[in-house]
Amino acid sequence: MANTLLDLSNELAESVSTAGNAVVRVEARRRLPASGFAWSHDGVIVTAHHVIEHEDNIRIGLPGGDAVPATLVGRDPATDLAVLRVQGASLPSPTWAEPESVRVGHLVLALGRPGKSVLATLGIVSALGESWRTPAGGQVHRYLQPDVAMYPGFSGGPLVAATGQVIGLNTTALLRGATVTIPAPTIRRVVEALLAYGKVKRGHLGVAVQPARLPAAIAKQFRQETGLLVTSVEPGSPAERAALVLGDTLVTFAGEPVRYPDDLLALLSGDRVGTTVPVQVLHGGRLQEVKVTIGERP
């Protein structure tokens, strides 16, 4: 038993050493610095959006102890991710764990570098789920909640498997009272968008909606009990230009049923910005189709 525990202890320590070489300190807020980690060898660093309180005079603390200036490439509040870049720094990019290999009960390590040294806490994967949408509307590929202690300055650091492979980025800002890990596929999608455009494009309709029960005949025709009642329309928005008005009920959007607000958010993806889609809507009690050109969320 003693040898088994010693072997496990040594393996965990090696995992911290391996993954910790890519973990950096992020100095971009007035209080305690936060953490981040290298995305690629050319100085691209990923961290949490909420730890970037000022966009100028950002500094990165490297594993060797040096502090170097960094620039903000872009940020995505909806997934709490941000990308920084440092010039002339060569950092080892982490090895990523296969998302399907992570199971509830697996041992995991949360790493951070709020000071000069890398810190680690040990826990387990306590919950896994399907893809989910954050309260700010960001799409995350998988719900992953670790049972790890997140000390001050750990946000933006990686969750690491016992093998030393990185599972994702830890944040305490997306769900109140819970630490969640943004998985690698979501990070990759957001980082690529930020590197290409400086932002993540999302579609914009310009309405506030709430679920509303459809008339029996319409519910039977579309095999859905609810649509989305329009409770407000922004002036000058794509919705107003399409003549949608207060009291209309959206039944389908781009050929897909919209029963709940999340259904509509999911269909307002960045690749649809600038495209025109059909919307079936109940207007004055009558079903009609309108065309909406999707805008870009400000």
Residue numbers annotated as active site:
50, 80, 155
CA atoms within 13 A on the CB side of 203: 24
Query: How far is the C-alpha of 15 from the C-alpha of 26, rounded, in Å?
Result: 22
CA atoms within 13 A on the CB side of 65: 0
Spatial contact of 176 and 182, defined as CB atoms under 8 Å apart: no
Cα distances from 157 to residues 28, 110, 171, 197, 198, in angstroms, run 14, 7, 8, 24, 21
